[in-house]
Amino acid sequence: MKTYFALFSIATAASLVTTPLIRRFCQRYNFLDIPLDGRRIHRTAVPRLGGLALYLSCLTALSLLPFVDNLLTQTLSSLKPEFLTLFIPATLVLLLGGYDDVKGTNAVVKFAGLGLIAALFYAMGGRIDALSIPLFGSMQLPPLFSFIITVVWLVGITNAFNLIDGIDGLASGAALFSSLVILGVSISQERTLMIVVSLVLCGALAGFLRYNFNPASIFLGDSGSLFTGFLLAALSVLGTQKATTAVAIVAPILAFGFPMVDTAMTMGRRLLSRKPVFQGDTEHIHHMLLARGWSQRRAALVLYGVCALFGLAALIFPATGSKLTGFMMFVISVAVIIAVGHLRYHEVDELRAGVKRTVGDRRLRVANNIRVRRAALALSKASDLHEMFEATRHLLDFGEFSFANAQVGQPGRADMNERAYQASLQRHPKQLLEFRNGRVFWSWSGDEMNDVNRSRSEWSFRLPLVKDGVEWGWLNFYRGFDAEPMLVDTNYLSDLFRREFTDAAARIFTAHEAPVAAKAMAMTAEKVSG
């Protein structure tokens, strides 16, 4: 126990001393994070090689172990292969991140580099070779699947910590909570190497937070976020080896709960919005909290609380037993979904609306579309104007529109238009049609709003009635600005219904063109015979 305490204290002290030195080094050689784009929250140049301070602090504490001779160091001496499996790839990740901090590189190069380093970790013996899924039991993975899952896990968790490094102290604080969770799980499993490494990392992060919390005087940089994320992911992989319970799988997932949720949200948002997956934006969870007017300190502290809750759940799982694992994961997932929903992501709101349209409103939408089809069929059988507009009125009874009006008739053919109007009036004396300015007018209203209020509170769309280049008028539908989402396919209205309405108008009006044509033919025949 004294050795454990000494390791933590040395790592913390080394971090407190090393970090200011690295900060001064960055300032001298201009290794600074300069805010050149809108994604940066800070306004002044800040040193960015914080990962080097973490690495040196961990190395300082671990390098003293060979000078101690006790049961702990004797146990560790037999674990040198596992130690090298952890720190050789982690060192390469630090160098990759450091190169990005100093020279800059793109996301593809970073992912490719992380993938190769993860493959090296697998080749050195660090691998996920079995999965125990809640409610399904444990299964051994074939080598190919073991390799893929190991690489995806390492690269995913590493990148997750890189993505949340957007406000002062967030990534380092989240990593500290994850380290504490892994420390707790390691103690329960009596995994000596994991206890030592996670304890040293905790000390290094605790000392670094002194300078990284808002207002930060040094950033983790890619060197720090990638190194920390990879080391934690690698520790979790070693912790799952030789473990067959679902708890061994679930605990690491919860240990990285917040980074994983943010990464999943980021990837999902970008895919839904059809944005490049690797393109940065300002819509991470911490950005959404800042957009609400929160300070960086408040956002970081609240998200620390989220990390603490995830960590607490991870530590509680071993006591619940595997039977409750699935249920608890379900409860946590629901809580995460509800919490994320309150951040008002556009993609989440649209996805929720899409689910409502697909599940909740599907039956009503189908019923309304059937109404359109029936109205189109009635239009195809209409023999006069009254029947044509009655079919339209029945369509409007489904309540999607508040007002409709129409003007029908061929321009310049007032005589023909009037004959069609009079013919319909003779059959239906109470028809609600008007004939003015050589055309037939019709309107329908689902409310008592006057025209002035209607123009201010409603929008409309017009269906032009054109067939074979001949204009037969127009038909307007109106809806309130504050109306519920439309539960009818507008393509049915603009295509099927408009086409049948136009055909009906053309058929009805041209039916009353015959007497004129007959009279013209008779006059032509009379002139010829004369």
Cα–Cα distances (Å) from 329 to 247, 257, 320, 321, 333, in that order, read 11, 11, 12, 13, 6
Looking at the fold, whether 130 and 222 belong to one and the same domain comes out as yes
Looking at the fold, whether 284 and 432 belong to one and the same domain comes out as no
Say if residues 307 and 297 touch (Cβ distance below 8 Å).
no
Q: Would residue 293 count as lying in a domain?
A: yes
Looking at the fold, whether 381 and 441 belong to one and the same domain comes out as yes
pLDDT at residue 224 tops 50:
yes
What tokens appear for 518 in the block?
């007959």
Mean predicted confidence (pLDDT) in 343-364: 70
pLDDT > 70 fraction of the chain, expressed in percent and rounded: 86
pLDDT > 90 fraction of the chain, expressed in percent and rounded: 45
Residue 518 has a pLDDT of 46
Q: Would residue 77 count as lying in a domain?
A: yes
Buried b (16+ CB within 10 A) or exposed e, 413-430: beebbbbbbebbbeebee
In this structure, of 133-137, 184-188, 399-403, 470-474, the range with the lowest mean pLDDT score is: 133-137
Phi, psi of 57 (to 5 degrees): -65, -45
Looking at the fold, whether 401 and 258 belong to one and the same domain comes out as no
Domain span including residue 75: 2-343
Looking at the fold, whether 163 and 279 belong to one and the same domain comes out as yes
CA pair distance 376, 370, nearest whole angstrom: 10
Say if residues 168 and 212 touch (Cβ distance below 8 Å).
yes
More confident position, 208 or 81 = 208
Q: Would residue 526 count as lying in a domain?
A: no
Looking at the fold, whether 243 and 176 belong to one and the same domain comes out as yes
Q: Would residue 395 count as lying in a domain?
A: yes
pLDDT at residue 39 tops 70:
no
Say if residues 424 and 384 touch (Cβ distance below 8 Å).
yes
In this structure, of 56-70, 323-337, 365-379, 433-447, the range with the lowest mean pLDDT score is: 323-337
Q: Would residue 310 count as lying in a domain?
A: yes
From the list 382, 381, 384, 372, the residue with the least C-alpha distance to 440 is 384
Question: Could you report the per-residue pLDDT of 460-515, keeping only the tens digit for each?
Answer: 889 999 999 999 999 999 988 888 878 888 898 999 999 999 999 999 999 887 55
> Any idea what the CATH number is for the domain that residue 502 is in?
3.30.450
Looking at the fold, whether 40 and 67 belong to one and the same domain comes out as yes
Looking at the fold, whether 336 and 400 belong to one and the same domain comes out as no
* Number of domains within the chain: 2
- pTM of this structure: 0.72
Say how far residue 184 (Cα) sits from the centre of its chain.
32
Looking at the fold, whether 169 and 40 belong to one and the same domain comes out as yes
pLDDT at residue 296 tops 70:
yes
Residue 136 has a pLDDT of 58
- Of 343, 372, 406, at which residue does a domain stop? 343
